[in-house]
Amino acid sequence: MSKSLRLSEKWFRRGLWLVALVFAGFLIGLGGTIVGDLPKVEAPLRVDDFLDKPAAQALRSQVQAARQAEQEAQTALEQAQLQRSKTRSESQSARETFNNWLATRSVTQRAEHDPEVLARTQALDALKQAERTTQQAVEAQQQAALDARQAAAAAQARLSTLEAAGYEKLNAERRKVELRVFLYRLALTLPLLVVAGWLFVKKRKSTYWPFVWGFIFFALFAFFVELVPYLPSYGGYVRYVVGIAITALVGRYAILALNRYLERQKQAESLPDQQRRKELGYDVALARLAKSVCPGCERPVDLKNDKIDFCPHCGIGLFDHCGHCSTRKSSFARFCHACGAGAQASQSAQPGHSPVTPA
């Protein structure tokens, strides 16, 4: 077809296809933005919306208080452990000193040292008592930390039980929201496919065909590509069912169109040669000749064979001779390529030829 078009017409058509693609691109961008923003029509859901809020708040306060108490007990425990280590170190050092002193006294066996033995023993007892006191402080802080952990765990368990029921309700509501949002998207994209199908059938060859094809590209992309990331688990069924339905409709349309075309061709081949020429468009005839097919029946013909003047399949005339210069030329040409004489004038000038009006 492109070989039969004027040069300017070729570029105009290419520009119009570019317009169709750009138009489709902007529509796709707008459609993607709308489809992506559709979930915003639903209020965001939180688990707190499905809980007994006073009870949940009380349990969270208990957990927080227990965690705080545990943290404070842990800090106090670290201090108590430090004090215990310090008293243990002092007690150990004093015991070693006392043992050394006793060893020296056993050698000298001096009786005047007996009061000092008692004093040192009492000092060791005091250090041992301090060590026991710090050990008791450590144990008390360990108990406090344990009590706080257990209280926090118990409150957290009750809160988890409460939240588990809330999460079940939340998930059920989210599935409902997901279904509603999917239906919103489907309600937006499915009618686009219906409109695109109607435009394809009725308007694809109209004056504003670039916008028609741009909208068709947009509708197909919006449903079969743009909608895919947002499909729920069952959304694939919808997409495939719609795809099957569209394929079946397009296939049926193509089969019926083919049958109508074959019927028209059969009827056209039974018409007289002159009437068939009138019904053929000039550009259509040139486009078919450029493909080396008969303009009447669209079957292959060896147009380079200078002995073939008529289609061997349907009998329509393919070549004649100019009435002005007798040059062999295409019978569909409006002017002789050798002398420029008009086809009507040259055919009228030939004896035995009736004038033929090219379409």
pLDDT at position 353 is 43
- 337 has pLDDT over 70: yes
In 197-333 the beta strands, taken as DSSP E runs, fall at 319-321, 328-330
- CATH code for position 149: 1.10.287
pLDDT at position 346 is 43
Instruction: For residues 280 and 177, state if they share a domain.
Output: no
* Number of other residues whose CB lies within 10 A of the CB of residue 199: 19
First to last CA, the chain: 17
**pLDDT per residue as tens digits for the range 162-220:** 778 877 887 887 777 777 777 777 788 888 888 888 888 888 888 888 888 898 888 88
pLDDT at position 17 is 83
Residue with tokens 């039980």, as numbered in its chain: 161
Instruction: For residues 178 and 303, state if they share a domain.
Output: no
- Tell me whether residue 357 is in a domain: no
Mean pLDDT of 105-118: 58
**pLDDT per residue as tens digits for the range 113-140:** 567 666 767 777 777 777 778 778 878 8
Q: Which is higher by pLDDT, 233 or 1? A: 233
- 251 has pLDDT over 80: yes
Instruction: For residues 283 and 168, state if they share a domain.
Output: no
Q: Whole-angstrom Cα distance, residue 335 to residue 322?
A: 9
Mean pLDDT of 53-79: 80
Q: Which residues contact 126 (CB under 8 A, 6 or more apart)?
A: none
Nearest CA-CA partner of 277 in 354, 225, 346, 339? 354
- Find the Cα–Cα–Cα–Cα dihedral 167, 172, 177, 183, rounded to 10°: 150
Mean pLDDT of 339-343: 79
pLDDT at position 117 is 63
Q: Of 129, 160, 182, which residue is a domain's last?
A: 182
Do residues 341 and 324 make contact, with C-beta atoms less than 8 angstroms apart? yes
Query: For the chain, how many structural domains are there in total?
Result: 2
Q: Of 162, 182, 202, which residue is a domain's last?
A: 182
Mean pLDDT of 58-87: 80
pTM value is 0.46
Which residue range is the domain that position 99 belongs to? 47-182
